[in-house]
Structure 1
Amino acid sequence: MTSTTKLSDHFRSGGCPISFELFPPKTEKGMQLLEQNVERLNQFKPAFFTCTYGAGGSTQSKTLDVVERVAKITGLPVATHLTCVGSTVEQLCDYLREAKRRGADYIVALRGDPPQGSDEFQAVEGGLRYANELVELIRKEFAQEFGIAVAGYPETHQEAVDAKTDLENLKRKVDAGADIVVTQLFYDNDDFYRFRDECDRLKIDVPIIPGILPVTNFQQAERIAGLCKARIPESLTNAMNVADCDEEQFAIGVEHAREQTIDLMNNGVAGIHYYVLNKSEAAEKMLEGLSLGQTS
């Protein structure tokens, strides 16, 4: 599909619109399960769906398969992630043209993580070094085709020298033409509110959308949090450590994410982005009865 709705407009019509992030399954069975879960998630009237791809662009084609199928199932705008890793400018433009042909409406523009086995990001010859350069490329070559989201880090990007430098990098991405900022996951809302206040001070004047990942398996959550430098509150850690079974961990994690959601709504966030790991059960329990989703 081709959306007529600008990406930032989803967050300027009142209410608290939501979106869901997916990743490309490895098998056709996984794709079928994903489609079933997308249908269930669609009942919450999200503004759009996004889809990641694997390290170094390893699942780009499957990502576009997901984008195409989700657009067909839901009739909603869809976004594909795009990173600078391993790609020349020409290859990035090729991907963007194919993404548009396959129905993508928005791009989540990222620098990307260093390739496996490397501690430092290295641009390929003829490629880009930073996410703001990718935003500039999209705005220059595809200004009418795509809305652009970029990433923000409430607890500071793990490679950043310090929080001030990280925020300055974010401002460069927004000044280059990003429509919205979607944050990395966090488990303490105070971290998000501090981040939002700092964005205001720097006059980052696009919608700042918090990203939430329910903890449904504590070991998995610790691994993910470690990768993205997200702090798990002591109270949540203690509750998870005394849980008797996986089902109790699931219930504790979902309730924590639900409380985060309610508190964010009460504090006037522009919207909320959910990392759902291609599943719907946690989101269904977390969002049940809440006044979220599209208002029109």
Structure 2
Amino acid sequence: MSPAAPALSRTARPLFEDAAGDIAVSFEFFPPRTEKMEATLWESIQTLAPLNPRFVSVTYGAGGSTRERTHATVARIVRETALTPAAHLTCVAATRGEIDDVARAYWDAGVRHIVALRGDPPEPGARFRSPEGGYANAAELVEGLKRVAPFDVSVAAYPECHPDSATRAADLDNLRRKMDAGADRAITQFFFSAESFFRFRDEAAAAGIDAEIVPGILPVSNVAQTRKFAGQCGAAIPPWMDRLFEGLDDLPDARKLVAATVAAELCAQLYRGGVRHFHFYTLNRAELAYAICHLLGVRPGAKQKDQAA
């Protein structure tokens, strides 16, 4: 027997040997600001579409700043693809009547899925204030959307606690109110520790939340940008991640390989913990999300597992 054999026999099985094609994925995009960005977005959509995502969501800028572009992007997805679009909608800078009108316009355009969010104020660092005559929070927004039409509604969840929540218990209570208002599932903010997701999922179950909780995955291609995002949403970036990306600023291809490896390992750990739906924050780039999906056994043309979509 080779001297290495005993050590090898004690190692874990290959991370992706269990990938059996039973995974569902979804992707998030943001509305483009320029013609060049629009071309990049649609190239990414066309690249990822053959993976038959459960849905693709389109974000809504702080303060409602991308409302028109979000609507235009979602409408184009409806017209030109067979994908199921999910439009983000927030409580910021609009009355209930105005938001209800936007929701009706989505329904009339063929959109049946809304990602309902409280939203961030347009001024960085400012605290959210409900506009006069507006929805006060995401739970109220969910309830209002369900009155407008029988939308499929996703809401946000925070494995490491929303920055505006005083305690984890308060954060879970807020999630429960959104579910009680009629939300169909929660999509988490990104995180980099499988343990943090599993702990959150257990806490949610203990709090009486039995709806699907989908992990949000952010492949890290830019550590500085990710650190900025993390500061806004309460996600922690572990020190080892900084060390992994150190020295790769001028090596974009190497950086992509590291990013795909880190995100794919996280997904594999989640898979082994029973997760079968992953939501990828693409930043309008397809390569990393596609590579990770491939490692997870998601292939073009394969029908995804139906999970209460």
Query: Where in structure 2 are the equivalents of 1:99-248 lying within 5 Å?
Result: 99-116=106-123, 119-142=126-149, 144=150, 146-243=151-248, 245-248=251-254
Q: 1:75 & 1:231 partners in 2: Cα distance?
A: 36
Measured after TM superposition, the shift of residue 107 of structure 1 is 0.6
Measured after TM superposition, the shift of residue 73 of structure 1 is 3.7
Q: 1:105 & 1:187 partners in 2: Cα distance?
A: 31
Measured after TM superposition, the shift of residue 62 of structure 1 is 0.9
The question of 1:268 aligning with 2:274 is answered yes
What secondary structure, in the 3-state scheme, does the structure 2 residue paired with 1:50 have?
strand
Q: Match for 2:62 among 36, 40, 55?
A: 55
The question of 1:291 aligning with 2:301 is answered no
Partner of 1:70: 77
Q: 2:287 & 2:75 partners in 1: Cα distance?
A: 23
Once the two structures are overlaid, the 10-residue window that deviates more, 286-295 or 127-136, is 286-295
Once the two structures are overlaid, the 10-residue window that deviates more, 120-129 or 82-91, is 120-129
CA contact (8 A) 2:78 2:109 kept: no
Measured after TM superposition, the shift of residue 160 of structure 1 is 0.5
CA contact (8 A) 1:78 1:103 kept: no
Structure 2-normalised TM-score? Answer: 0.86
Q: 2:119 & 2:145 partners in 1: Cα distance?
A: 16
Counterpart residue type for residue 297 of structure 2? S
CA contact (8 A) 1:49 1:76 kept: yes
What secondary structure, in the 3-state scheme, does the structure 1 residue paired with 2:160 have?
coil
CA contact (8 A) 2:186 2:211 kept: yes
Counterpart residue type for residue 40 of structure 1? T
Q: 1:147 & 1:249 partners in 2: Cα distance?
A: 37
Once the two structures are overlaid, the 10-residue window that deviates more, 257-266 or 285-294, is 285-294
- Flag the structure with larger Rg: 2
Gaps of 5+ in 2: 1-20
CA contact (8 A) 2:103 2:148 kept: no
The question of 1:282 aligning with 2:288 is answered yes
Partner of 1:96: 103
Counterpart residue type for residue 291 of structure 1? G
Counterpart residue type for residue 36 of structure 1? E
Q: 2:219 & 2:96 partners in 1: Cα distance?
A: 36
Instruction: For residues 188-221 of structure 1, give each alpha carbon's deviation from its aligned partner in whole angstroms, at most 9, with x where no partner exists.
Output: 1111110000011012111000000000112212
Q: 2:295 & 2:79 partners in 1: Cα distance?
A: 27
Once the two structures are overlaid, the 10-residue window that deviates more, 207-216 or 228-237, is 228-237
Gaps of 5+ in 1: 1-13
Q: 1:17 & 1:245 partners in 2: Cα distance?
A: 32
What secondary structure, in the 3-state scheme, does the structure 1 residue paired with 2:156 have?
strand
CA contact (8 A) 1:154 1:195 kept: yes
Once the two structures are overlaid, the 10-residue window that deviates more, 229-238 or 269-278, is 229-238
Runs of 4+ off more than 3 Å: none
Structure 1-normalised TM-score? Answer: 0.90
CA contact (8 A) 1:218 1:249 kept: no
CA contact (8 A) 2:60 2:90 kept: no
Counterpart residue type for residue 269 of structure 2? D
Q: 2:266 & 2:244 partners in 1: Cα distance?
A: 16
Measured after TM superposition, the shift of residue 242 of structure 1 is 4.2
Q: 1:157 & 1:52 partners in 2: Cα distance?
A: 18
Partner of 1:250: 256
What secondary structure, in the 3-state scheme, does the structure 2 residue paired with 1:100 have?
helix
Quote the RMSD (CA, aligned, Å).
1.7
